[in-house]
Amino acid sequence: MNLIRVILSVIFPPLAVIDKGCGSIIITALLTCAGWVPGVLAALIILNRCEYEEEY
């Protein structure tokens, strides 16, 4: 994860995962509507998971 993505996840979580697929954007947007903290956590988890999968 780079610093810009982490800052985007805190400010507007769906924007941080925009290139990870439609499902990730929808899940993050729904969780952000439900509450800001779940949206931020989902965005950080998605970004961390995708970075981990790219290494292997």
Which tens digits make up the pLDDT trace of 8-37?
Answer: 999 999 999 999 889 999 999 999 999 999
Supply the pLDDT for residue 30. Answer: 96
Residue 25 lies inside a defined structural domain of this protein: yes
Q: Give the domain extent around 40.
A: 8-55
Quote the pTM value.
0.84
Q: How many other C-beta atoms are found inside a 10 Å radius of the C-beta of residue 37?
A: 11
pLDDT for 45 beyond 90 = yes
Supply the pLDDT for residue 53. Answer: 63
Number of domains in the chain: 1
Residue 37 lies inside a defined structural domain of this protein: yes
For residue 17, which phi and psi values (nearest 5 degrees)?
Answer: -105, 25
Residue 1 lies inside a defined structural domain of this protein: no
Q: How many other C-beta atoms are found inside a 10 Å radius of the C-beta of residue 17?
A: 26
Residue 38 lies inside a defined structural domain of this protein: yes
Residue 3 lies inside a defined structural domain of this protein: no
Residue 2 lies inside a defined structural domain of this protein: no
Q: How many other C-beta atoms are found inside a 10 Å radius of the C-beta of residue 56?
A: 4
Q: How many other C-beta atoms are found inside a 10 Å radius of the C-beta of residue 45?
A: 14
Residue 40 lies inside a defined structural domain of this protein: yes
